[in-house]
Amino acid sequence: MLAYQKPCTIGDPVDDIDTPALVVCLNKLEENVGKMNTAMEKYPGVAVRPHVKTHKCPEVARMQMRAGAVGMCCQTLTEAEAMVGGGVADVFITNELVGKTKLRRLASLARQAAVSITVDDAANLQDISDVATEMGVTIHIAIEVNVGQDRCGVEPGEPAVSLAKLATSLPGVTFKGIHCYNGWNQHVRSTEERSNAVNKVVDLTRKTLEALKAAGLECPYVTGGGTGTFHFEAASKVFTEVQPGSYVFMDADYYKNLARDGNFDTEFLQSLFVLTTVQSAAASGERVVLDAGLKAVSLDSGVPMLSQRPDLTYHSGGDNHGIVTPGGDLPVGSKVWLIPGHCDPTVNLYDWIVGLRDGKVECVWPVSGRGPGN
């Protein structure tokens, strides 16, 4: 049970927060949620369904819903269950779920909320139909199309049509539309190159829509795009929905999407931090050691930045240690604010998000959707 102990209580000053702790600046989080709303006003008819994989937290989802989101995207069942449990009435699982155990959980959720899911396999679609029929629910199907990520998804055009036809013919399921997401594009650094990359996505999506139309199938739902590219998908006149996730928190990797062209790349603020403490300064002329290693901050997209200390560099010190160089002015006990390299897997390491305003803890939210992927 100790793992679930909160790192602080409401009203605590920063110094009383046990570290390492995942801390969100509430003013910046709220500003990011508002900025997405404003950004989307430019694209009438295009909905925003933020991705929960970033925060896995019903409190943040409710904030996004209040700002106009039509529902939430989830990557895992645990995330979807946490959201529905937290009052979200419409969840879209942007991931293939395989096997009766998972599909029964999926169908149970469909008793409480509108549930959609991506599919790229006929036998899996048949299984979803069987479970939904058995349990007396309807599950909405979005065919996942491979628009360049080369991960899941059927190829654009005809392969998508045959699965869509199957979805219209089976009981317990409906054909909702197509899912056309390319994750690599989000992190292409220059705006122009990112825009060109999305043009390819749009071409493959349009090709699939034309094939569906030729087969007599209506496709009113086309979804995709993340924080790095949603402006382009939203402006394409092809997409009806975008799925940005990271914009609520941002991270050091997304900061490398340069605002070279002076446009929207940095419209979102870095709101998420890992609060750490210097635990050793024995070699302080050369380095100090933080109580935050790779079990406290994800390193898959590069090391964290040190907030307001661009002169200092984080190096991995193993599971439980982070090394900072040169670090000479940081005594034992001083606090260091890390900006994670990658927000999503960092959040997944914590049970709690500490919400901070004006230097005091305002809330401590559970990361209810966390887990390895089930």
- Footprint of ligand PLP (CB under 6 A): 51, 53-54, 73, 94, 181, 183, 186, 226-228, 243-246
Residue 19 or 54 having the CB closest to Mn ion: 54
Region of 32-40, 137-145, 328-336, 340-348 interacting with Mn ion (CB under 5 A): 340-348
Residue number with the smallest Cβ distance to Mn ion: 344
Nearer to Mn ion, 265 or 344 (CB): 344
* Closest by CA position to 55, among listed 250, 242, 257: 250
Residue 54 interacting partner from Mn ion, ligand PLP, none (CB closer than 5 to 8 Å by kind): ligand PLP
Q: 7 is in the binding site of which of Mn ion, ligand PLP, none (Cβ under 5 to 8 A by kind)?
A: none
Contact call for residues 249 and 22 (beta carbons, < 8 A): no
The site partner of 231 among ligand PLP, Mn ion, none (C-beta below 5 to 8 Å per kind) is none
Told to check if 79 binds Mn ion by CB under 5 A, we report no
- Specify the pairing of strand 241-242 against strand 47-48: parallel
Cβ burial 132-156 (10 Å sphere, 16+ → b, else e):
bbebebebbbbbbbbbbeeebbbeb
Give the distance from CA 105 to its chain's centroid: 22
Which lies closer to ligand PLP via its Cβ, residue 246 or residue 270? 246
- Binding at 226: pick from ligand PLP, Mn ion, none (beta carbon under 5-8 Å per type): ligand PLP
Instruction: State the minimum distance, in angstroms, from the CB of residue 81 to Mn ion.
Output: 21
CB crowding 37-62: b at 16 or more within 10 Å, else e = eebbeebeebbbbbbbbbbbbbbbbb
Rounded to an integer, what distance in angstroms lies between the CA atom of residue 356 and that of residue 118? 36
Secondary structure of 309-327 as H, E, C letters? CCCCEEEECCCCCEEEECC
From the list 79, 233, 291, 344, which residue makes contact with Mn ion (rule: CB under 5 A)? 344
Closest residue (Cβ) to ligand PLP? Answer: 226
Residue ranges that bind Mn ion, judged by CB under 5 A: 344
